[in-house]
């Protein structure tokens, strides 16, 4: 079964932690949480020690391999030249560090990644107890809420008990307003012609082609409804879309990679853009879904997070403000 429109069943969860002292994490802690989660998950499920995942006989039946290494199946028709497919999850971090002892972290799971949710609960709980960040601050998991696509919440985990959950659904796409604003909450890293896009050369075509590729690959590797559409036609059409207002800036951010034993620069764009939605109909379902999938590089650690909301056209345009 395939679909001409993007369909990615997903679930969003909010993990609530407590710590005995004010939260002291790096300015952008996505890397720290992702690294701690990966280490904890591997310790939990790995039964073949000291063997690279790529050489392990269990790699296609292992929660860690699927979630964090994500090797393409041997019979995959797409991404055969890649050693890994997009991961079936993203982390979403608070926009500012809490000044008290409460902290929350969102986990979004795509498609078949949902089957490993209990493993990820245990791994995040373990990661919090082991300590996050350079100072190894301890976080105790106290509650998990299930979030629907409108942001409504329902508690599903307390005191070690996990309640039944609602089925994963692809977010319903609302009617498209006359003008929309996309706000990038965490660094957006998009490479175009071997260079990172900067505020001066940012364009809708590069943004959309990156988003289209990501959603296509998520739907192919992690759902039962792979996307079948006119990829080339959409990509060409996207190059004709102009941004009517842009307020973007470059945000420098570095992280230390324990795997590569080096500092890595993961800076990207933050800020907002406005789009007149005339002629945007074909792109609207992707832009809406991208709020959950994120876009660009390092999405699993929370980069490329954005939100979409109705907006007013800049002064001088003919369109009236959207109520």
Structural domain count, the chain: 2
Q: What pLDDT score was predicted for residue 319?
A: 45
288 and 183, same domain (yes or no): yes
| The last residue of a domain, from among 108, 133, 162 | 162
The answer to whether residues 319 and 313 touch, using CB atoms and an 8 Å cutoff, is yes
Dihedral of alpha carbons 24, 30, 31, 32, sign: positive
**Domain ends where: 117, 135, 162?**
162
Q: Is the dihedral of CA 48, 52, 53, 58 positive or negative?
A: negative
Encoded tokens for 98? 């809490």
Instruction: Name residue 143's beta-bridge partners.
Output: 16, 158
In sequence order, the β-bridge partners of residue 169 are 10
Judge if 24 and 158 occupy the same domain.
yes
320 within some domain = no
pLDDT of residue 169: 95
Query: Are residue 211 and residue 72 in the same domain, yes or no?
Result: no
* Residue 120 belongs to domain with CATH number: 3.30.70
The verdict on residue 318 lying in a domain is: no
Predicted TM-score (pTM) of this structure: 0.91
Q: What pLDDT score does 320 carry?
A: 43
Strands 245-251 and 195-196: unpaired
Euclidean distance between CA atoms 248 and 208, whole angstroms: 17
- Write out residues in the chain with pLDDT < 50, as ranges: 318-323
pLDDT for position 156: 97
| 44 occurs within a structural domain | yes
Question: CB within 8 A of 193, min separation 6: which ones?
Answer: none
Please give the helix or strand (H or E) that residue 214 lies within, else none: helix 204-222
Determine the pLDDT at residue 72.
Answer: 83
Q: What is the pLDDT of residue 133?
A: 87
Q: Is the dihedral of CA 232, 172, 289, 219 positive or negative?
A: negative
CATH of the domain at 188: 3.30.70.1900
CA distance 109 to 114: 6
Q: Using an 8 Å Cβ cutoff, are 89 and 106 in contact?
A: no
Rounded-to-integer distance, Cα 288 and Cα 268, Å: 21
The domain boundary residue, chosen from 135, 162, 189: 162
- pLDDT one-digit tens code per residue, 139-158: 999 999 999 988 899 999 99
Domain shared by 193 and 150, yes or no: no
From residue 184, alpha-carbon distances to 51, 140, 227, 229 in Å are 39, 30, 25, 26
Report pLDDT for 86: 94
Q: What pLDDT is attached to residue 317?
A: 54
In a domain, 74, yes or no: yes
- Residue 117 within any structural domain of the chain: yes
Q: Are residues 191 and 122 in the same domain?
A: no
What pLDDT is attached to residue 97?
A: 52
Classify residue 272: in a domain, yes or no. yes
Q: What integer pLDDT is reported at residue 98 of this predicted model?
A: 52
Give me the phi and psi of 120, to 5 degrees please: -70, -30
Per-residue pLDDT at 34? 95
186 and 305 housed in the same domain: yes
Examine the domain organization and report whether 186 and 232 are in the same domain: yes
Instruction: Assess whether 47 and 184 both reside in one domain.
Output: no
- Per-residue HEC secondary structure of 15-46 comes to EEEECCCCCCCCCCCHHHHHHHHHHHHHHHHC
Residue at 2 is within a domain: no
**Is residue 4, in this structure, part of any structural domain at all?**
no
Residues 129 and 201 in one domain: no
- Residue 124 CA to residue 112 CA, distance in Å, equals 19
Residues 192 and 151 in one domain: no
Domain shared by 111 and 44, yes or no: yes
Q: 233 is in which domain, residue-wise?
A: 179-310
**140 and 196 assigned to the same domain:** no
Long-range pairs for 104-108: beta carbons < 8 A, 24 or more residues apart: 104/14, 104/15, 104/16, 104/17, 105/14, 105/15, 105/17, 105/33, 106/12, 106/13, 106/14, 106/15, 106/147, 107/12, 107/13, 107/15, 108/10, 108/11, 108/12, 108/13, 108/292
Kindly give, in sequence order, each residue whose CB lies less than 8 Å from that of residue 313, ignoring residues fewer than 6 positions away.
178, 179, 244, 274, 276, 319, 321
Contact 294, 34 (CB under 8 A): no
Edge to edge, what strands does the sheet with 102-110 contain? 89-92, 102-110, 10-18, 140-147, 153-158, 161-162
Vertex 172 angle, CA 166 and 175, to 5°:
155
């Amino acid at each position: 079964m395939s679909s001409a429109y993007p369909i990615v069943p997903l679930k969003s969860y909010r993990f609530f932690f407590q710590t005995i002292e004010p939260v002291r994490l790096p300015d952008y802690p996505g890397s720290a949480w992702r690294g701690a989660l990966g280490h904890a998950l591997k310790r939990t499920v790995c039964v073949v020690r000291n063997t690279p995942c790529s050489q392990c006989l269990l790699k296609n039946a292992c929660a860690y391999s699927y979630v964090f290494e994500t090797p393409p199946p041997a019979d995959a028709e797409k991404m055969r030249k890649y050693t890994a497919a997009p991961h079936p999850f993203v982390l979403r971090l608070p926009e500012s560090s809490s000044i008290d002892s409460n902290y929350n972290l969102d986990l979004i799971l795509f498609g078949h990644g949902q089957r490993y949710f209990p493993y990820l609960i245990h791994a995040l709980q373990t990661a919090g107890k082991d300590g996050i960040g350079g100072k190894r601050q301890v976080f105790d998991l106290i509650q998990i809420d299930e979030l629907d696509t409108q942001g409504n919440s329902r508690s599903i985990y307390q005191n070690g008990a996990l309640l039944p959950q609602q089925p994963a659904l692809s977010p319903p796409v609302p009617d498209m307003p006359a003008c929309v604003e996309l706000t990038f909450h965490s660094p957006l890293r998009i490479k175009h012609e071997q260079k990172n896009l900067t505020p001066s050369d940012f364009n809708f075509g590069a943004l959309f082609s990156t988003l289209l590729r990501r959603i296509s690959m998520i739907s192919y590797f992690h759902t039962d409804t792979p996307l079948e559409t006119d990829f080339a036609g959409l990509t060409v059409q996207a190059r004709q879309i102009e941004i009517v207002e842009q307020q973007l800036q470059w945000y420098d951010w570095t992280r230390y990679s324990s795997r590569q034993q080096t500092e890595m620069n993961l800076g990207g764009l933050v800020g907002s853009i406005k789009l007149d939605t005339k002629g945007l109909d074909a792109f609207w379902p992707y832009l809406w879904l991208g709020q959950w999938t994120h876009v660009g590089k390092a999405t699993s650690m929370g980069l490329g997070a954005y939100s979409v909301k109705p907006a007013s056209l800049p002064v001088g345009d003919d369109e009236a403000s959207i109520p």
